[in-house]
Amino acid sequence: MSASPSSSAQAAREAIAARLGGLRKDAELTGHELALRCGWSPAKSSRIERAKTPASAADIRAWCKACGAEDQTDDLIAANRQADQMYVHWQKLHRHGMRRAQEEVVPLYEQTRHFRVYCSNVVPGMLQTEAYAAALLSTIAAFQGTPDDSQTAAASRIERSRVLHDGNHRFALLLEETVLRYRIGDAAAMAGQLGYLLAVMALPNVSLGVIPFTAQRLVWPLEAFYLFDGRQASVELLTAAVNVTAPSEVATYAKAFSELSKLAVYGAPARALISDAITSLG
């Protein structure tokens, strides 16, 4: 895997910084002269050009105007916005609650034909029951210190998951056995969630594999990630959501999914692991 899942975002920011630096050089301005024209400190110009400080839309407008390159403004702002969307802190995404975050990805879910999902910590959102989702989202809100709208957010998550029952979508899902054992919510919520996994396995467009504790690891447990066709990978970190679109990095996650899938069991063996987890709830 790459050294950091946020490398695509950083690379995009560095590319924007390089373009801004090129505009300054083309205008034959020093960093000090640019700063004077923009009305800020030379240190700010240096930080932006070295990709140490992300440029805001206002910064880009001022920079382009100072360099006599106003025709580049819209393109650079659009590229900068895309870079910002690659690495989004959860606290920023959830600052008004989590319901909106569930709804914002609906178009992506509807457009995707082939989902490949790997989870090592919790049940994937598209397979969650409402009780499990509400319990999980409530703990996330408490940890992040963001508004707790877990009940309405859970309902939106269930609505978003309707793509499971649309024959135009295919799902390949991999869970570590730990996911079956981690207690999210009370025993009733966990039993309902595990029972739902058994039901989902019967859907013709769903392949659900479980990687047993006893699997000989050829790939170590990874952070949860979602592959949307072959064009995007969304990676879930503790502090942020990383949206990877660079073809080489998407291919790396696809390779990881392929290798992890070889460790999983399917069909009756997978159902047995899920059933054992239900029995352990007592």
Containing H/E element for 20?
helix 7-26
- Tell me the pLDDT tens digit for each residue of 21-46: 999 999 999 999 999 999 999 999 99
- Tell me the pLDDT tens digit for each residue of 40-71: 999 999 999 998 888 888 999 999 999 999 99
HSE, CB side, 13 Å, CA atoms: give it for residue 88: 15
**Cα 74 from Cα 5, distance rounded (Å):** 28
Structure-token pair, residue 68: 């006599």
Tokens 């969650």, residue located: 128
**Cα 59 from Cα 16, distance rounded (Å):** 12
pTM of full prediction above 0.75 = no
Between strands 170-176 and 206-211, the pairing is: parallel
The pLDDT tens digits along the chain (282 residues) read: 344 445 556 777 788 889 999 999 999 999 999 999 999 999 999 999 998 888 888 999 999 999 999 998 987 887 776 666 666 665 666 766 777 777 777 888 899 999 999 999 999 999 999 999 999 999 998 988 888 888 998 998 888 888 998 878 999 999 999 999 999 999 999 999 999 999 999 999 999 999 999 999 999 999 999 999 998 898 888 777 788 777 778 899 999 999 999 999 999 999 999 999 999 997
Structure-token pair, residue 58: 């206002």
Q: What angle do CA 16, 83, 245 make, to 5 degrees?
A: 115
Q: Which of 93, 89, 59 has its CA nearest to residue 76?
A: 59
Q: What are residue 97's DSSP bridge partners? A: 95
Structure-token pair, residue 263: 């460790």
